[in-house]
């Protein structure tokens, strides 16, 4: 038996990006300040990770207001929702499989060497 991984999306396999995606999947939308608060991220790190997710097509960004008084709101796209579901499924595949016992593996390798 071969130990197989499901597909684990490297964009979502980052703790902060995963937190952002899960939060936005649960909410209709959230603004930057709220995302900073619930993810406990610094403003700089949050902006970098949001930009990465937006460039992947996983987030919508809506801005209102002008200059210092602008308000930015984020929401997850259908593509982002699919990526998150696929990520969940990849983890499920990984955790639901049986791992061969170490003894069986060692016995098979000894037989193959002989």
* Residue pLDDT, tens place only, 27-61: 989 999 999 999 999 999 999 999 999 999 999 99
Listing DSSP states for the chain in one string gives ---------TTTSSHHHHHHHHHHHHSS-EEHHHHHHHHT--HHHHHHHHHHHHHTT-EEEEEES-GGG-EEEEEE-HHHHHHHHHHHHHHHHHHHSPPPPHHHHHHHHHHHH-
Show me where the domains of the chain are located: 15-113
pLDDT: which is higher, 21 or 66: 21
What is the reported pLDDT for 112? 55
Architecture of domain 15-113: Orthogonal Bundle (1.10)
* Residue pLDDT, tens place only, 90-105: 888 888 877 667 775 5
What is the reported pLDDT for 110? 58
């Amino acid at each position: 038996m071969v130990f197989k991984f499901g597909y684990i999306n490297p964009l979502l396999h980052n703790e902060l990006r995963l937190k952002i995606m899960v939060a936005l999947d649960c909410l209709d939308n959230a603004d930057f300040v709220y995302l900073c608060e619930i993810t406990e991220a610094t403003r700089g790190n949050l902006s970098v990770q949001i930009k990465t997710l937006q460039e992947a097509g996983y987030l919508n960004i809506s801005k209102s207001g002008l200059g210092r008084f602008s308000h930015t709101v984020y929401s997850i796209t259908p593509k982002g929702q699919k990526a998150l579901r696929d990520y969940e499924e990849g983890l499920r595949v990984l955790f639901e499989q049986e791992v061969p016992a170490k003894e069986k593996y060692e016995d098979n390798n000894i037989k193959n060497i002989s």
